[in-house]
């Protein structure tokens, strides 16, 4: 077996590979940029080599720097993770020339599957079901419109060398086909240095279901079930699960056998994924093959018990697979939620900064036998950089059934305490709690259909509202109990804690009565009893306990006049007052937020790519005002209504903070809005 391997990546996937290598007794080498000098993967590895400046093009993508690091450390093989150099044939060739093993497939397989156009042609030749479309390169926008009309709207315009949701546009009419062609071409050129695009039919009621394949260098290829990846936002996966709640055994077998046939056609070895689009009648069509480890591979590992990273390493060393297709058994259900540094209430704009608090839920099995796994590449105090993907962690749960795995995931999310930057935990928890998700009625349009106006916070159901009412008054009462025990108080002037309180959540007042009980409190309101039992103490960030016997986990942040509580995707402010204080609070004036209608504010920390208007210019609704780039995303800011530019406060190349002023307008401003299809995913 290899004695030392280098991981040509960063973040959670580098940490993930290091864990398996350590278990196998293999030493590891990390590479890092200036921005990652203090990163977790650097700390975990046995050795670390600096490879350049923060931008990936000046560090992680430099093949010569990676080769030099291998030679300097004596690394015998390289694991590329995903992204960066993982699917670059020239990187594989360079490693082979240097006598270093590549922990991945052959150059032939990478080349054949790395081009979306050529891979679809190859799939058709191999007898794999493909989506109707034109795979020839589209020369211009008018030709794109002509082809789209022939196929029939809606169509998908895709970059041939695309990935990660970049260079993809859906067009429903001629105008969108023209605009989509230009946008997809521009993104493909900037992201992949390859502006070729093609067009295919957009499948309605589509599900994104992928098959995990695994092959060795001796001709053995198997599939390890499927993953349902339909919950996507702008073509970026958000929640994945295995198996799919939609497939039956016959469809699973047919998809698996086609995936293996395609892999065999290109002589595939190592772990790979064949992605399909599946319609409402379980017809499936080849989408693409990813010749690398997928981000969502942990859910497959949880239901099969197969360590895919270990298998990749063993295959790269030349070992035959130790299991056959008959050995693959699917056990239970696994769900993965991608935790991102982004603000879902601000259009999912990226968030950067320091993780002032980072306390993930405990990993391992709980009293139910449910398993929590957290793949991450950060730690408390780490920085979320603007130079890389905003992923913080991949939180995975396993349970015997799908609904139990979902419940386990939501409970784990409730206990995932992150502060210092914005994150999407409230959003993914709300999706998991949605009735349609729990019923398994999924499509790739789920988020757009269920959250058409964006995400503005989860809606509390009656049980959760009751639970938070009990938690709010219990935390206030226990805090008050601590305060009355402070030493040095004047005799006979101690504070007496009354049983009557008023709890206000989202403007809704509830008069409650609190009585001390064994292990907690009995909270009574509206003739109902909420028995809350908890050992929470002031200063703790998580309250764990039960409300009427139902387990709850609530994040608790003390405020000047109450508590900020997070539970079941809801992030609310709860204020607990005495009846007299509540009476006086009703008389207080309401604080009105400042009027920013005359200002164009930067929606996220980022770099100004362009200012598209000038001082004194009359702008119209829908006109592009500026473009801001952050975390590899290009955000086009457009006017919501007509107006006149009164001042230009930023210029191309400026690095702006969130809510920093870009433009001012005369009178009520046109504000800004991201235009449909113009925000780079």
**Other beta carbons less than 10 A from residue 22's beta carbon:** 14
Parallel, antiparallel, or unpaired: how do β-strands 661-665 and 520-525 relate?
A: unpaired
- Residue 291 in tokens: 């010749």
Asked about 288 being catalytic, the answer comes back as yes
Helix, strand, coil share (%) of the chain residues, nearest 5: 30, 35, 35
Output the DSSP codes for 371-399: EEEEEES--TT-EE-TTS--EEEEEEEEE
Catalytic: which of 87, 228, 288, 634?
288
Q: Which residues contact 224 (CB under 8 A, 6 or more apart)?
A: 212, 213, 214, 300, 304, 306, 328
CA distance 181 to 157: 7
**Other beta carbons less than 10 A from residue 404's beta carbon:** 18
Name the helix (H) or strand (E) containing 359.
strand 357-359
**Other beta carbons less than 10 A from residue 603's beta carbon:** 22
Omega before residue 243 within 30° of 0, cis: yes
For 105-264, strand residue ranges (E) read 133-134, 155-163, 166-171, 197-201, 207-215, 221-233, 236-242
Parallel, antiparallel, or unpaired: how do β-strands 562-567 and 333-340 relate?
A: unpaired
CA distance 481 to 483: 5
Q: Which of 334, 348, 268 is nearest to 306 (CA)?
A: 334
Omega before residue 91 within 30° of 0, cis: no
CA distance 149 to 174: 8
φ/ψ region of 385 (left if φ > 0, alpha if ψ in -120 to 50, else beta) reads: beta
CA distance 50 to 53: 9
Report the b/e string of 170-198 with b at 16+ CB within 10 A.
Answer: bbeebebbbbbbbbbbebbeebbeebbbb
Residues with catalytic roles: 288
């Amino acid at each position: 077996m290899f004695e030392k391997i280098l991981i040509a990546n960063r973040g959670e996937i580098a940490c993930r590979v290091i864990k398996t290598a350590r278990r196998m007794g293999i030493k590891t080498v990390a590479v890092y940029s200036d921005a990652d000098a203090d990163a977790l993967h650097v700390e975990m590895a046995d050795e670390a080599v600096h490879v350049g400046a923060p931008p990936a093009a000046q560090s992680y993508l430099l093949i010569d720097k990676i080769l030099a690091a291998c030679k300097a450390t004596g690394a015998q093989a390289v694991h590329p993770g995903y992204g960066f150099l993982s699917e670059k044939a020239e990187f594989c060739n360079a490693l082979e020339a240097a006598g270093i093993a590549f922990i991945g497939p052959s150059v032939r397989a990478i080349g054949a599957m790395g081009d979306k156009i050529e891979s679809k042609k190859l799939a058709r030749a191999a007898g794999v079901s493909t989506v109707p479309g034109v795979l020839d390169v589209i020369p211009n926008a008018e030709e794109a419109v002509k082809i789209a009309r022939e196929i029939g709207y809606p169509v998908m315009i895709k970059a041939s060398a695309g990935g990660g949701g970049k260079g993809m546009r859906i067009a429903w009419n001629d105008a969108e086909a023209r605009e989509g062609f230009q946008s997809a071409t521009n993104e493909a050129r900037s992201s992949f240095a390859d502006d070729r695009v093609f067009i295919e039919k957009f499948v309605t009621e589509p599900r994104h279901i992928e098959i995990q394949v695994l092959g060795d260098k001796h001709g053995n290829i198997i599939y390890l079930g499927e993953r349902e990846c339909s919950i996507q936002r702008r073509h970026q996966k958000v929640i994945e699960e295995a198996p799919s709640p939609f497939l039956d055994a016959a469809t699973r077998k047919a998809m698996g056998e086609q995936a293996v046939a395609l892999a065999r056609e290109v002589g595939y070895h190592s772990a790979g994924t064949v992605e399909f689009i599946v319609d409402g009648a379980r017809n499936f069509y080849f989408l693409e093959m990813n010749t690398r480890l997928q981000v969502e591979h942990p859910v497959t590992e949880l239901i099969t018990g197969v360590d895919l990273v270990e298998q990749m390493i063993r295959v790269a060393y030349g070992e035959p697979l130790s299991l056959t297709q008959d050995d693959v058994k699917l056990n239970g259900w696994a769900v993965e939620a991608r935790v991102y540094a982004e603000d879902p209430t601000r259009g999912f704009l990226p968030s950067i900064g320091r993780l002032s608090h980072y306390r993930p839920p405990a990993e391992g099995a709980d009293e139910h036998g449910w398993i929590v796994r957290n793949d991450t590449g950060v730690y408390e105090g780490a920085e979320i950089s603007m130079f890389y993907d905003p992923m913080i962690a991949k939180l995975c749960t396993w349970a015997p059934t799908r609904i139990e795995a979902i419940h386990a995931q939501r409970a784990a999310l409730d206990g995932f305490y992150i502060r210092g930057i914005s994150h999407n935990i409230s959003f993914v928890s709300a999706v998991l709690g949605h009735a349609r998700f729990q019923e398994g009625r999924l499509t790739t349009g789920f988020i757009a259909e269920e959250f058409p106006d964006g995400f503005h916070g989860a809606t509390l159901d009656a049980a959760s509202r009751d639970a938070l009412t009990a938690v709010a008054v219990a935390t206030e009462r226990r805090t008050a109990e601590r305060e009355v025990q402070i030493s040095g108080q004047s005799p006979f002037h101690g504070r007496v804690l009354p049983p009557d309180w008023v709890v206000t959540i989202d403007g809704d007042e509830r008069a409650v009565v609190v009585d001390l009980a064994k292990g907690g409190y009995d909270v009574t309101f509206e003739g109902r009893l909420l028995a809350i039992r908890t050992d929470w103490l002031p200063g703790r960030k998580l309250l764990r306990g039960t409300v009427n016997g139902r387990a709850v986990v609530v994040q608790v942040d003390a405020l000047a006049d109450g508590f900020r509580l997070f539970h079941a995707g809801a992030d609310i402010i709860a204020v607990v007052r005495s009846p007299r204080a509540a009476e006086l609070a009703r008389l207080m004036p309401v604080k009105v937020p400042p009027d920013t209608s005359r200002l164009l504010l930067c929606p996220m920390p980022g770099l100004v790519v362009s200012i598209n208007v000038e001082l004194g210019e009359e702008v119209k609704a829908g006109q592009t005002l500026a473009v801001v780039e952050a975390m590899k995303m290009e955000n086009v800011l457009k006017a919501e209504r007509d107006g006149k530019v009164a001042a230009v406060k930023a210029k191309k190349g400026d690095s702006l903070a969130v809510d920093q002023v870009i433009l001012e307008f005369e009178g009520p401003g046109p504000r800004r809005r991201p235009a449909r299809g113009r925000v780079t995913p």
